[in-house]
Amino acid sequence: MTDSAAPLLVMHDISKRFGATQALSGVSFSVRAGEIMALVGENGAGKSTLMKILSGAHRPDAGSIHVAGRSYAPGSPQQARDAGVAMIYQELNLAPDLSVEDNIMLGREASRLGWLLRREQRPRVQQALDLLGHGELRPDAPVRSLSVGAQQLVEIARALVHDAKVIAFDEPTSSLTRQDVEHLFKVIRRLRETGRAIVYISHFLEEVRQLCDNYTVLRDGRVAGAGSLAGVPESAIVALMVGRSVEELFPTVPHAPGDVLLSVDRLSGRRFPVAASLELRRGEILGVFGLVGAGRTELIRSIFGLDPVKSGQVRVAAKLLAASPRAAIAAGLGIVSEDRKGEGLAQSRSIADNLTYSRLKPYSTLGWLRLGERRAIVESWMSRLHVKARSAEQEIAALSGGNQQKVALARVLHQDAQVLLLDEPTRGIDVGTKAEIYRLIGQLAAEGRSVIFVSSYCHELLAVCDRIAVMSRGRVTAVRDASNWNEHSIMEAAIAVDDSAGGGNERPSA
Amino acid sequence: MNDRRPEPQFDDSDTIGSVLAKKWRYDWRVTVWLFTKTALGPLFIVWALFAVLDAFQQYGGSFAQIRSFQLIVVHTAAVAVPAFGMTIIIIAGGIDLSVGAAMALSATVGAWGFLHGHSPTEAVCLCLATGLAAGILNGSLISSLRVVPFIVTLGTMMIFQGAGRWLAADTPIRPPLASFAPLADFQAPFPTPAWHIFSPGVWIMLLLAVAVSLVLRYTVFGRYVFALGSNEATARLCGINVPLVRISVYALGGLFAGVAGVYQFATLYQGNPMGGVGKELRIIAAVVVGGGSLSGGRGSVLGTLSGAAIMAVIDHGCTTLGIGDMYQDILIGAIIVAAVAVDQYRQRKMAAAV
Amino acid sequence: MFRRACLFGLVAAFAAATVLGCGSGERSGKRRIAVIPKGTTHDFWKSVKAGALKAGEEFGVEIVWKGTASEEDKEKQVQLVDSLAGTVDGICLAPIDRTSLVPPVVRAKQSGVATVIFDSGLEDASAIVSYVATDNYKGGQMAGEHLAKLLGGKGNVVLLRYAAGSESTEQREKGFLDAIAKHPGIKVIADNQRAGSDAEEALRTSSSLLQSLRGQIDGVFTVCEPNNKGMLQALENDNQAGKIMFVGFDSDPRFVQALKDGKMHGIVLQDPFHMGYQAVKTMVEHLEGKPVEKVITTGEYLATQENMDDPRMKELLNPPKAD
């Protein structure tokens, strides 16, 4: 065991600026050998920037880093690996067609004159896998054939082969099953025993409490608090994360649900959803919770006709809806994609274009546009949603995440959708904007519109929604009034996989 | 002076349209923007460079004359017209390698029409229809087979070339001059009533440039083209009929190849089925030099026109200065690479500013 | 401000160029003659260039040598003639296409620049000063006669054509076919294959031709340098070199060797050096106001294994070249 008093990783007074945004200012952070440090914070708090600096993807503007007492300033991820710092990301960085061994040794192959020396490699690979307690993984199996959990082990084994002293896990459990999560935690504890310093990033406070020794909370690029997890209540950490009281964070607008507007009957897609049924009333906010990969996104995409539908029906105001985005828009549905960059917004087009793509008709005569008229309307939407931009002609890519999300929401409002399908609408945006979006959702419900609010962040669902449906493995496993849920019961329902797989599993809502 | 409104600022994220929208009255900053942020600036630099170099030559002085200008615009038109279609395709995130072959096929079909006693109007319509059909074929194949346009149009390039050679029995079709008399002076650099200044082909090219700019900026279709190229997923999400837009884009590209076929016929006085070999790369180069991005979503008619003109200026300038063909190739190649590098640099700068 | 300064600089440069341009419109000194070959890469054109340069030196004119790299880009050659017409006193042109190059030549004449056509003809010769060329028809005839003699008046022969639209090669093809037609014992079993301007394509075409007519071919005629090259290579690859009677057109060191080795049995030669020289000389005479012949032939010769060591033949087989 190494001397536990001297920290293995010290990041001192780190600052980083991107254009106008101060991503990190004066963050200090240290991890001792044999310690698991939780790094928590809202999206956009600076966790990933800090990790990118640690891994050499970004250079800090100010501050210093020491690893095992030595000054450390990686110019690239490669240099970081060589210095003994390894990152395990949410999305795995593996070559699926190569074998376990090849992936583990990638970039560090034992070779002579360009020829691989497999005999030398094999014991090192086996040693790493044994250390992780998974000696049963076959080094020659192609990575493609492994489960996600096993693939993650391969990635961790790679870090071990590279002799990593500091290993940072960035939301490692988001795509794992419950058993795999348990396995992973065992592996991480083993790593702690071997005297490595572990950084564990997550926003599941539950997991953090299970696994970690200490915590550091980041908020708006600063350290909001740090200490030992023992004896600290969860609510105290949430308060540190959001930096304000719960009432401020989740403003509510009174609204009253009416008759059923949207009904989804045993809807099945190519893989997900599986026979999902839901009802949504006029003026109601329905939350949909599930772990990543539970099929939430697929559910609303199938409702909207973006994903192929295998069986089942969607009705809007009792009328059957054809499975195509154009039919959905015509029937008064609107969708905000979870993937703003890849799908939700055309990044290189202007605000005005993005806001009006789904409804250009009011400004066109025989295909020709009246741009002045459109500009006026776009500007009115921008001011209603407080979109901060230089002009309506500004490119989307130049806006902050929060402002981009407001444009995506404004598009749905501009097309006058009665049913809004919002997929992770608060992901990656700042706390202030989140509050604005919660208030907006409340206002929309008060106007009589219906909202399906998909999120993996149960606090916001509990605070904002009238009812919450929980999904697991593509099925809707439970729907209850929000007041009948709490953080524990939601997580339990989301993780409960096998006991509810029998079908006909929808519990009646209260 | 008393106007309290904040003065508009222009930067990299602007487009020609947005600049004009911000400041539609003439302003020197509009000119500055046009010259610093579009290919108009490089065009001017290249032109001025040759003019100065030429002026100091012993036998020089001819470059800055109107005659030289007339030649450059005629040479520009031959590349710019099909490049307008290519601009639309590239903005929509596609590519069309068959444009040269489609252009040659159109010219060949047109020549066949002239040879077989069709009136000039009929023959020109045949020419345009051939281009349009070629474009519709490209678009339909790309949409229905879900194969990348690069591969599909590589295939149709061969098909169009082979079809042309079959129709022409593998030799250029040379209709008698009398049969296409109205087209004889279409691409003549020095028009007979001198006050016309440019050949009819150049005037039509300018009209087409204006028309395409307007369509791209002021029509629903134009918006959809940009949406498709910028982010196809967004377009689908917004209920845009993606296959229809895509087929229309390639059909338009084909139509422009058909128009270019008329230009080629009027230049060569024949329909040459092999006349498109290598032309597709020049056409694509014009779009790229003009700021079109092969990843889609970016491109402008003014840029493409400038890009085509830059190449014409370099060709003409090197010829009059007696600079070898090989240096000409190297220079154009360097400009293409530089244009792409500048585009990448700007995009990275903008991404970092978020 | 910096941008403004840049813009101002550009405008100033533009103005200066225009003023200088107009000021120096009057030319002085040596005459300039543009010589435009069909292409720049083949040896034939390098010999033409050597001849043109020699004439330039002799008559005190500046030669502007400018061609397209490809021998197929008609549009480019049209543009080239148009561009050069503004900067020279006369043009010597080897047109890639007999119709497409008529308009630019007419335009050049309208702006006071005369054109001598060499190597390959134009359909409409009204605008040109003179046509300087090999009698290609006669050359083709010579090839046909020679091949007929080699075959003893009977057998099957193949003609590998060049890309369509080139007047010179079409004349050779015609001359060859006309000569063969006089020998009823000789049958032309393939004359519809064309190879473009590069040897690689000629090799492909030749190989498939040899393959498909295996065992039936007694004699072959190829009409120009790249085709000779492709056919020679194909014959060698197929182990048929020397077995099939092979007559080509135009020379190259490789063909000289092949002639020596008995792999080629005759080469019809032009005199490219003299052609280049004569084209420039004709243009100079025209510019000096002397009358010139409308058509000037530069001679055509048949080289065989027997006569290839004659000094005149040696010179023709390996003409001087300029790079």
Choose the weakest-confidence range: A48-52, A429-433, C2-6, C80-84: C2-6
**Residue B251: exposed, middle, or buried by beta-carbon count in 10 A (0-12, 13-18, 19+)?**
buried
Q: Are A246 and A253 in contact (CB under 8 A)?
A: no
CA distance C27 to C112: 14
What's the whole-model pTM score?
A: 0.79
Residues of B with Cβ-Cβ distance to C32 under 8 angstroms: 59
Q: Is residue C322 part of a domain?
A: no
Mark yes or no for CB contact B353/A20 under 8 Å: yes
Same domain, C65 and C105: yes
Tokens, residue B118: 């069709």
Q: Which of A280-289, A451-460, A478-487 is the most confident on average? A: A280-289
Mark yes or no for CB contact B55/C22 under 8 Å: no
The pLDDT of residue A434: 84
- What single-letter amino acid sits at A361? K
Mark yes or no for CB contact A349/B297 under 8 Å: yes
Q: Is residue C313 part of a domain?
A: no
Same domain, C263 and C148: yes
CATH classification number, A255-332+419-425+449-510, choose in 3.40.309.10, 2.40.50.100, 3.40.710.10, 3.40.50.300 = 3.40.50.300
Specify the fold of A7-247: Rossmann fold (3.40.50)
Q: What is the 3-state secondary structure (H, E, C) of C169-216?
A: HHHHHHHHHHHHHCCCCEEEEEEEEEECCCHHHHHHHHHHHHHHCCCC
B28 to chain C, any CB pair closer than 8 A? The answer is: yes
Average pLDDT, integer, range A6-20: 87
Tens of each residue's pLDDT in chain C, 323 residues: 444 555 555 555 555 555 444 444 444 578 999 999 998 888 889 999 999 999 999 999 999 999 888 888 899 999 999 999 888 999 999 999 889 999 999 999 998 999 999 998 898 889 999 999 999 999 999 999 999 999 998 899 999 998 877 778 889 999 999 999 999 999 999 888 888 767 888 898 899 888 888 888 999 999 988 899 999 999 999 888 888 999 999 888 889 999 999 999 999 999 999 999 999 999 999 999 999 999 999 999 999 988 988 998 888 888 888 87
Mark yes or no for CB contact A345/B18 under 8 Å: no
Same domain, C129 and C275: yes
Q: Are B226 and B91 in contact (CB under 8 A)?
A: yes
Query: CA angle A413-A416-A417, nearest 5°?
Result: 85
Average pLDDT, integer, range A286-293: 88
Q: How many other CB atoms are there within 10 angstroms of residue A220's CB atom?
A: 18
The pLDDT of residue A3: 47
The DSSP element (H or E) to which C31 belongs, if any, is strand C31-36
Mutate to test the interface with A, among B234, B241, B242, B300 (most CBs of A within 10 A): B234
Mark yes or no for CB contact A358/B298 under 8 Å: no
The pLDDT of residue A238 is above 70: yes
Q: Are A25 and A221 in contact (CB under 8 A)?
A: yes
Q: Distance between the two ends of chain B, CA-based, in angstroms?
A: 33
CA distance C166 to C96: 6
Mark yes or no for CB contact C16/B60 under 8 Å: no
- What is the count of structural domains for chain C? 2
Mutate to test the interface with B, among C79, C98, C109, C193 (most CBs of B within 10 A): C79
The pLDDT of residue A2: 44
The pLDDT of residue B58: 63
The pLDDT of residue B3: 42
The pLDDT of residue A329: 95
Same domain, C141 and C265: yes
CA trace torsion C115, C117, C121, C127 (10° rounding): 20
The DSSP element (H or E) to which A110 belongs, if any, is none
CA distance A451 to A439: 13
User: To which residue do tokens 């090989």 refer?
Assistant: B326
Q: Are B263 and B186 in contact (CB under 8 A)?
A: yes
- What single-letter amino acid sits at A373? E
The pLDDT of residue B43: 85
Distances (CA, A) of A290 to A90, A276, A343, C137: 17, 13, 21, 86
CA distance C141 to B166: 30
Q: Are A199 and A47 in contact (CB under 8 A)?
A: no
A265 to chain B, any CB pair closer than 8 A? The answer is: no
Same domain, C48 and C36: yes
Residues of B with Cβ-Cβ distance to A325 under 8 angstroms: 236-239
A344 to chain B, any CB pair closer than 8 A? The answer is: yes
Rg (CA), chain A: 25
A332 to chain B, any CB pair closer than 8 A? The answer is: no
User: To which residue do tokens 């090849």 refer?
Assistant: A102
User: To which residue do tokens 């065989």 refer?
Assistant: C304
Same domain, C143 and C216: yes
User: To which residue do tokens 């015509």 refer?
Assistant: A330
Among candidates A325, A371, A390 on the partner chain, residue whose Cβ is nearest the Cβ of B236: A325
Average pLDDT, integer, range A449-473: 91
Instruction: Determine A/C contact with 3+ CB pairs under 8 A as the test.
Output: no
Mark yes or no for CB contact B239/A325 under 8 Å: yes
Mark yes or no for CB contact C67/B190 under 8 Å: no
Domains by residue range for chain B, with CATH:
39-345 (1.10.3470)
Domain hosting C247: range is 136-269
Q: A428 in helix, strand or coil?
A: coil
CATH code of the domain in which C160 resides: 3.40.50.2300
Q: Are A24 and A50 in contact (CB under 8 A)?
A: yes
The pLDDT of residue A464: 92
Mutate to test the interface with C, among B81, B319, B329 (most CBs of C within 10 A): B319
Mark yes or no for CB contact A369/B226 under 8 Å: no
**Residue A239: exposed, middle, or buried by beta-carbon count in 10 A (0-12, 13-18, 19+)?**
middle
Residues of B with Cβ-Cβ distance to A61 under 8 angstroms: none
| Phi, psi at B249, each rounded to 5° | -60, -50
Interface predicted TM-score (ipTM) over 0.85:
no
CA distance A178 to B284: 53
The pLDDT of residue B14: 59
CA distance C98 to C165: 7
Chunked mean pLDDT (size 10), chain B, 354 residues: 50 60 63 77 83 70 76 94 97 96 97 95 97 97 93 96 92 91 90 87 96 91 92 91 96 97 95 91 94 88 93 88 82 88 76 54
**Residues constituting chain B:** 354
Could you tell me if residue C73 is left (phi over 0), alpha (psi between -120 and 50 degrees) or otherwise beta?
beta
Same domain, C210 and C146: yes
The pLDDT of residue B12: 55
Q: C164 in helix, strand or coil?
A: coil
Same domain, C243 and C275: no
- Selected residue with higher pLDDT from B233 and A506: B233
Number of H helices, E strands in chain C: 11, 12
Among candidates B58, B275, B278 on the partner chain, residue whose Cβ is nearest the Cβ of C29: B58
The pLDDT of residue A69: 86
Mark yes or no for CB contact C165/B59 under 8 Å: no
Q: Are C176 and C144 in contact (CB under 8 A)?
A: yes
Bridge partners for C244 per DSSP: C241
- What single-letter amino acid sits at B334? A
Q: Are C255 and C30 in contact (CB under 8 A)?
A: no
Distances (CA, A) of A243 to A209, A239, A268, A303, B273: 20, 6, 41, 36, 72
The pLDDT of residue A210: 85
Evaluate the omega torsion of the peptide bond into residue A273 and state whether it is cis, within 30 degrees of 0: yes
Q: For the segment A113-168, what is each residue's pLDDT rounded down to a tens digit?
A: 777 777 888 888 888 888 888 878 888 888 888 887 888 888 888 888 888 899 99
Distances (CA, A) of B45 to B33, B94, C6, C19: 15, 30, 11, 17
Q: Is residue C219 part of a domain?
A: yes
Q: Is residue C16 part of a domain?
A: no
Q: What is the 3-state secondary structure (H, E, C) of chain B?
A: CCCCCCCCCCCCCCCHHHHHHHCCCCCHHHHHHHHHHCCHHHHHHHHHHHHHHHHCCCCCCCCCCHHHHHHHHHHHHHHHHHHHHHHHHHHCCCCCCCHHHHHHHHHHHHHHHHHCCCCHHHHHHHHHHHHHHHHHHHHHHHHHHCCCHHHHHHHHHHHHHHHHHHHCCCCCECCCHHHHHHHCCCCCCCCCCHHHCCCHHHHHHHHHHHHHHHHHHHEHHHHHHHHHHHCHHHHHHCCCCHHHHHHHHHHHHHHHHHHHHHHHHHHHCCECCCCCCCHHHHHHHHHHHCCCCCCCCCCCHHHHHHHHHHHHHHHHHHHHHCCCHHHHHHHHHHHHHHHHHHHHHHHHHHHHHC
Bridge partners for A500 per DSSP: none
CA distance A121 to C157: 67
Mark yes or no for CB contact A390/B9 under 8 Å: yes
The pLDDT of residue C14: 54
Residue in C closest to B73 by C-alpha: C79
Residues of B with Cβ-Cβ distance to A346 under 8 angstroms: 226-227, 230-231, 234-235, 297
Residue in B closest to A356 by C-alpha: B238
List all chains that touch chain B, counting a touch as 3 or more CB pairs closer than 8 Å: A, C
The pLDDT of residue A501 is above 70: no
Contacts of B124 (CB under 8 A, 6+ apart): B110, B183, B262
Mark yes or no for CB contact C72/B277 under 8 Å: yes
Q: Is residue C23 part of a domain?
A: no
Question: Could you tell me what percent of chain A has a pLDDT over 70?
Answer: 94
Q: At what angle do helices C272-287 and C43-59 cross, to 10 degrees?
A: 40
Average pLDDT, integer, range A81-109: 83
Same domain, C252 and C276: no
The pLDDT of residue A498 is above 50: no
Q: Are A185 and A153 in contact (CB under 8 A)?
A: no
Q: Where are the domains of chain A?
A: 7-247, 255-332+419-425+449-510
Tokens, residue C190: 């393939």
Mark yes or no for CB contact A349/B238 under 8 Å: no
The pLDDT of residue B54: 76
Same domain, C155 and C123: no
- What single-letter amino acid sits at A463? A
